[in-house]
Each structure stands twice: as structure tokens, then as C-alpha cells.
Amino acid sequence: MNSLIDESVIQNMKDDLGKDTCHKLIGLFIEETRLLLVDLEHAFEVMDLAVIENATHILKNSAMLYGATSVAINAKEINDRLCSPRKIINNTDKQLLALIRTTLKAYNSKYNNAV
């Protein structure tokens, strides 16, 4: 589960901003990602590509900033395809939802004080 979180990113954040601020920020990240997950679940059901594009656009950056590297890479991969003129979406892209759920679980478990 820990491989879902790049601990060095979190540690740098703690060193730079202090533990309290860091936990507060991670709380925001968890909350934002949870809302994006809800949007994405619905969007994948109805294949609303615009919503998927917007949500992955936010995630590819925010997840990278908060050390959720796997989510960031996956979101970027989908977003790059959706930004191309052909707007390609694959069946396997839905796996992002499961990855976000597992990652959120990992963040909640590790930083449950923050939420």
C-alpha cells in the first residue's frame, strides 16, 4: 500500500512547511481527490469525456505534488489522449477509479489524523 505514496514528497513537504500545515494540505488533497473520484465514476458510466478530461487534468498535477505518483501517471496518460484531436478513451482507463480508491485508502490510513 505504501508504494502508492511517495514518502519523500511528503517528507519534503513536512520539512518545508511543518507537520501541521502538511497534514492540513493532505486533508485538502484527500477531499479534492474524493470529489474528483465521484465525478469520474459518473463520467465513466455515461462516457462524459469532457468531465474525464477536466478531472484527469487536475489530478495529473495535484497527485504528483502530493506524492500519489501512480495516480498522477495514470491520469496524465488518459488526459494526454483526451487532449489529442482524436480523444481516445480505452476500456482499461476505468482502472484509474480503482487506483484512486486504493490510493485514498492508503492516504486515509496513513494520515487519518489529517481528515
Partner 1 sequence: MPTTSKKTLVYIVEDSLSSGALYSSQLEKAGYETKHFVDGYSALAAIKEIMPSVIIQDVCLPDISGLNVLQFVNRQKSPARVIIITSNSSIDVAVDAMRLGGFDFIEKPFSRERMITSVQDAVKQINLESIESKKVKTEVLSVPEISFIGESLAMKTVFRLLDSALRSKASVFVTGESGTGKEVCAQYLHSFSARKEAPLIAINCAAIPGELFESEFFGHMKGSFSGAVADRKGAVEAANGGTLFLDEICEMDLNLQAKLLRFLQTGTFTRVGSTNVIQSDVRVVCATNRHPAAEVGEGRFREDLYYRLNVIPIQLPPLRERGDDILLLANSILTDKNQENEKGFGQFSSDVQSMFMKYDWPGNIRELQNIIENMVVIHSGDEITLDMLPENFAQSGLNITFQNTFSHHRVNNHSNNHSNSHSNYNSNSHLNNDAHTEEGDHRYEIKDIIPMWLVEKNAIEKAIEICDGNIPLAAAHLGVSASTIYRKIKSW
Q: Which of 51, 60, 71, 58 is nearest to 5 (CA)?
A: 71
Least CB distance from residue 64 to partner 1, whole Å?
A: 4
Least CB distance from residue 45 to partner 1, whole Å?
A: 22
Least CB distance from residue 100 to partner 1, whole Å?
A: 14
45 binds partner 1 per the rule CB under 8 A? no
Least CB distance from residue 21 to partner 1, whole Å?
A: 5
| Separation CA 30–CA 27 (nearest Å) | 5
Burial class (CB in 10 A: 0-12, 13-18, 19+), 79: buried
3-class DSSP state for residue 84? coil
66 binds partner 1 per the rule CB under 8 A? yes
Residues in the chain: 115
**Cell numbers linked to 63:** 497527485
Binding mask 15-44 for partner 1 (x = CB under 8 A): -xx---x---x--xx-xxx-----------
* Residue ranges binding partner 1 (CB under 8 A): 13, 16-17, 21, 25, 28-29, 31-33, 54, 57-58, 60-62, 64-66, 72, 79-80, 83
